[in-house]
Amino acid sequence: MRCPYCQSENSRVLESRMSEDGTAIRRRRECANDECARRFTTYERVEQRPLMVVKKNAEREQFSTEKLYRGILKACEKRPISTAQVEVVVAEIERDLRLEYEREVPSSVVGERVMEALKQLDGVAYVRFASVYREFRDVATLAQEVLSLLSESSDKNRN
Protein backbone atom coordinates (compact mmCIF):
# COMPACT_ATOMS: atom_id res chain seq x y z
CA MET A 1 0.00 0.00 0.00
CA ARG A 2 1.44 3.36 -1.04
CA CYS A 3 2.07 5.85 1.80
CA PRO A 4 -0.16 8.93 1.34
CA TYR A 5 2.57 11.17 2.78
CA CYS A 6 5.83 10.17 1.05
CA GLN A 7 4.41 7.89 -1.70
CA SER A 8 6.67 5.00 -0.64
CA GLU A 9 5.28 1.69 -1.87
CA ASN A 10 6.15 -0.16 1.33
CA SER A 11 4.11 -0.13 4.53
CA ARG A 12 3.45 -2.58 7.34
CA VAL A 13 0.13 -3.51 8.84
CA LEU A 14 0.11 -2.75 12.57
CA GLU A 15 -3.48 -3.74 13.31
CA SER A 16 -6.45 -5.17 11.41
CA ARG A 17 -10.02 -5.27 12.61
CA MET A 18 -13.53 -5.57 11.27
CA SER A 19 -15.49 -2.33 10.97
CA GLU A 20 -18.45 -1.93 13.32
CA ASP A 21 -20.97 -2.79 10.63
CA GLY A 22 -18.94 -5.74 9.34
CA THR A 23 -18.67 -4.48 5.77
CA ALA A 24 -14.98 -3.57 5.78
CA ILE A 25 -11.64 -4.41 7.30
CA ARG A 26 -9.87 -1.45 8.86
CA ARG A 27 -6.07 -1.62 8.78
CA ARG A 28 -3.69 0.68 10.65
CA ARG A 29 -0.46 0.91 8.70
CA GLU A 30 2.94 2.45 9.14
CA CYS A 31 5.18 3.62 6.34
CA ALA A 32 8.27 1.39 6.06
CA ASN A 33 10.37 4.33 4.88
CA ASP A 34 12.52 5.23 7.94
CA GLU A 35 12.52 8.92 6.98
CA CYS A 36 8.71 9.03 7.01
CA ALA A 37 7.40 6.28 9.35
CA ARG A 38 3.97 7.98 9.50
CA ARG A 39 0.82 6.03 10.29
CA PHE A 40 -2.36 5.91 8.24
CA THR A 41 -5.57 3.91 7.95
CA THR A 42 -6.87 1.92 5.00
CA TYR A 43 -10.14 0.09 4.48
CA GLU A 44 -10.71 -3.08 2.50
CA ARG A 45 -14.24 -3.46 1.10
CA VAL A 46 -16.04 -5.68 -1.35
CA GLU A 47 -16.09 -4.02 -4.74
CA GLN A 48 -19.64 -3.13 -5.65
CA ARG A 49 -21.31 -1.99 -8.82
CA PRO A 50 -21.37 1.82 -8.93
CA LEU A 51 -24.43 3.55 -7.52
CA MET A 52 -25.24 6.73 -9.41
CA VAL A 53 -26.74 9.80 -7.73
CA VAL A 54 -29.25 11.69 -9.88
CA LYS A 55 -29.00 15.38 -9.03
CA LYS A 56 -31.76 18.01 -9.18
CA ASN A 57 -30.60 19.15 -12.63
CA ALA A 58 -30.76 15.50 -13.87
CA GLU A 59 -26.96 15.17 -13.99
CA ARG A 60 -25.55 11.94 -12.68
CA GLU A 61 -22.46 11.38 -10.58
CA GLN A 62 -21.09 8.30 -8.90
CA PHE A 63 -22.06 7.91 -5.25
CA SER A 64 -19.11 8.87 -3.07
CA THR A 65 -18.82 7.52 0.45
CA GLU A 66 -16.06 10.06 1.05
CA LYS A 67 -18.27 12.98 -0.04
CA LEU A 68 -21.06 11.75 2.24
CA TYR A 69 -18.57 11.39 5.11
CA ARG A 70 -17.16 14.90 4.60
CA GLY A 71 -20.64 16.46 4.48
CA ILE A 72 -21.75 14.79 7.69
CA LEU A 73 -18.43 15.50 9.39
CA LYS A 74 -18.76 19.19 8.47
CA ALA A 75 -22.24 19.35 10.03
CA CYS A 76 -20.89 17.66 13.19
CA GLU A 77 -17.89 19.99 13.50
CA LYS A 78 -17.28 21.15 17.10
CA ARG A 79 -20.04 18.86 18.38
CA PRO A 80 -19.55 15.98 20.83
CA ILE A 81 -19.70 13.39 18.05
CA SER A 82 -16.81 11.02 17.40
CA THR A 83 -15.53 10.14 13.96
CA ALA A 84 -16.50 6.54 14.77
CA GLN A 85 -20.13 7.66 15.16
CA VAL A 86 -19.95 9.49 11.84
CA GLU A 87 -18.46 6.39 10.17
CA VAL A 88 -21.34 4.26 11.49
CA VAL A 89 -23.93 6.75 10.17
CA VAL A 90 -22.23 6.85 6.76
CA ALA A 91 -22.03 3.06 6.57
CA GLU A 92 -25.71 2.68 7.52
CA ILE A 93 -26.86 5.25 4.96
CA GLU A 94 -24.75 3.69 2.20
CA ARG A 95 -25.89 0.15 3.06
CA ASP A 96 -29.56 1.19 3.08
CA LEU A 97 -29.25 3.05 -0.23
CA ARG A 98 -27.53 0.10 -1.92
CA LEU A 99 -30.21 -2.27 -0.63
CA GLU A 100 -33.06 -0.05 -1.77
CA TYR A 101 -31.65 1.33 -5.05
CA GLU A 102 -29.90 -0.95 -7.49
CA ARG A 103 -28.35 1.54 -9.91
CA GLU A 104 -29.55 5.12 -9.34
CA VAL A 105 -30.72 7.09 -6.32
CA PRO A 106 -32.13 10.64 -6.34
CA SER A 107 -29.94 13.14 -4.49
CA SER A 108 -33.03 14.21 -2.55
CA VAL A 109 -33.23 10.72 -1.01
CA VAL A 110 -29.58 10.89 0.05
CA GLY A 111 -30.14 14.31 1.63
CA GLU A 112 -33.26 13.18 3.48
CA ARG A 113 -31.48 10.07 4.82
CA VAL A 114 -28.64 12.23 6.12
CA MET A 115 -31.08 14.59 7.81
CA GLU A 116 -32.96 11.68 9.44
CA ALA A 117 -29.69 10.26 10.79
CA LEU A 118 -28.44 13.63 12.04
CA LYS A 119 -31.77 14.39 13.70
CA GLN A 120 -31.28 11.22 15.79
CA LEU A 121 -27.60 11.94 16.43
CA ASP A 122 -27.44 15.66 17.23
CA GLY A 123 -29.95 18.49 16.81
CA VAL A 124 -27.34 21.15 16.09
CA ALA A 125 -25.66 19.03 13.40
CA TYR A 126 -29.11 18.38 11.92
CA VAL A 127 -29.94 22.11 11.73
CA ARG A 128 -26.52 22.88 10.21
CA PHE A 129 -26.98 20.27 7.50
CA ALA A 130 -30.63 21.18 6.90
CA SER A 131 -29.79 24.86 6.53
CA VAL A 132 -27.45 24.07 3.64
CA TYR A 133 -29.46 21.20 2.14
CA ARG A 134 -32.83 22.95 2.24
CA GLU A 135 -31.24 26.29 1.28
CA PHE A 136 -32.98 28.36 3.95
CA ARG A 137 -33.47 31.81 2.48
CA ASP A 138 -34.17 33.68 5.71
CA VAL A 139 -34.00 33.45 9.49
CA ALA A 140 -37.74 32.81 9.77
CA THR A 141 -37.45 29.55 7.82
CA LEU A 142 -34.51 28.48 9.95
CA ALA A 143 -36.40 29.36 13.14
CA GLN A 144 -39.39 27.36 11.95
CA GLU A 145 -37.17 24.29 11.46
CA VAL A 146 -35.63 24.70 14.93
CA LEU A 147 -39.09 25.06 16.49
CA SER A 148 -40.21 21.90 14.70
CA LEU A 149 -37.16 20.06 16.05
CA LEU A 150 -37.84 21.34 19.59
CA SER A 151 -41.47 20.27 19.34
CA GLU A 152 -40.47 16.74 18.26
CA SER A 153 -37.95 16.57 21.10
CA SER A 154 -40.47 17.60 23.74
CA ASP A 155 -43.00 15.09 22.33
CA LYS A 156 -40.43 12.30 22.72
CA ASN A 157 -39.65 13.38 26.29
CA ARG A 158 -43.34 13.21 27.24
CA ASN A 159 -43.68 9.62 25.98
What would the pLDDT profile of 57-107 be if each residue is shown by its tens digit? 999 999 999 999 999 999 999 999 999 999 999 999 999 999 999 899 999
Mean residue pLDDT of the chain comes to 89
Give me the residue spans of the domains in the chain: 1-47, 49-158
Express each pLDDT in 116-141 by its tens digit: 999 999 989 988 898 887 777 777 77
Question: Is the distance from CB of 27 to CB of 42 less than 8 angstroms?
Answer: yes
pLDDT of residue 98: 92
Q: What share of the chain is helix, strand, coil (3-state, %, to 5)?
A: 45, 20, 35
Does the predicted TM-score (pTM) go above 0.75? Answer: no
